[in-house]
C-alpha cells in the first residue's frame, strides 16, 4: 500500500494545493452507457484521478465479462478530500484514486460480502481492497489503485 509520503510526492497535497492538484490530475469520466446498463448504480459521470480511469474501466469490464458485476449494489464515491477514517493522515479518496462500493453491505470494520473471485478481479487490475486489511482497519467497501 502506498504511503502518504509516496502519494504526496506523486500528486502533491490536495489539502494544501487543491486547485493545482485538480487541474493536473483530476478529470470527469463519462461512464460508458454499456457499463451503466450492466451496473445500474453507476453514475453517469465520475470525478476521478485521470490515472485510474483505464484501470477502473478495465476492472469493471472484467467483472461484467465474468458475471461478477451483479455483486455491485451501490456506488458510494470516489473523490473526497478528507482525513482517513479510524487513522491519521489523508484518505486516498483525496487524491481521487479510491472508490467505495456497497458501503451499506461492507461497513468500515464490519463484515465483507464480496466473493473471492470479485476481489481477485480488482487485484489482477492493480487495485487493493480494504477487505484484506487487519480487523482494526478493515474497509470492505474501499478499493484503491496501486498501479503507479
Answer whether 0.85 is exceeded by the pTM. yes
CATH number of the domain where residue 60 is located: 3.30.1380
pLDDT of 88: 77
pLDDT digits (tens, 9 = 90+) for 91-110: 999 999 999 999 999 999 99
H, E, C per residue of the chain: CCCHHHHHHHHCCCCCCHHHHHHHHEEEEECCHHHHHHCCCCCCEEEEEHHHHHHHHHHHHHHHHCCCHHHCCCECCCCCCCECCCCCCECHHHHCCEEEECCCCCCECCCCCCCHHHHHHHHHCCEEEECCCCCCCCEEEEEEECCC
Domain count, the chain: 1
Which domain, by its residues, includes 112? 4-145
pLDDT level of residue 84 (50, 70, 90 thresholds): confident
Amino acid at each position: 500500500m502506498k504511503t502518504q509520503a509516496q502519494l504526496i510526492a506523486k500528486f502533491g497535497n490536495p489539502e494544501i494545493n487543491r486547485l493545482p492538484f485538480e487541474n493536473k490530475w483530476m478529470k470527469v469520466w463519462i461512464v460508458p452507457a454499456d457499463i451503466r446498463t450492466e451496473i445500474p448504480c453507476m453514475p453517469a459521470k465520475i470525478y476521478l484521478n485521470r490515472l485510474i480511469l483505464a484501470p477502473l474501466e478495465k476492472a469493471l469490464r472484467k467483472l461484467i465479462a465474468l458475471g461478477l458485476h451483479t455483486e455491485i449494489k451501490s456506488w458510494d464515491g470516489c473523490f473526497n478530500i478528507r482525513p482517513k477514517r479510524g487513522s491519521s493522515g489523508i484518505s486516498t479518496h483525496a487524491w481521487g484514486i479510491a472508490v467505495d462500493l456497497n458501503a451499506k453491505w461492507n461497513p468500515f470494520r464490519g463484515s465483507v460480502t464480496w466473493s473471492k473471485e470479485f476481489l481477485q478481479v480488482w487485484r489482477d487490475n492493480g487495485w487493493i481492497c480494504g477487505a484484506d486489511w487487519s480487523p482494526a482497519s478493515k474497509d470492505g467497501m474501499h478499493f484503491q489503485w496501486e498501479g503507479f
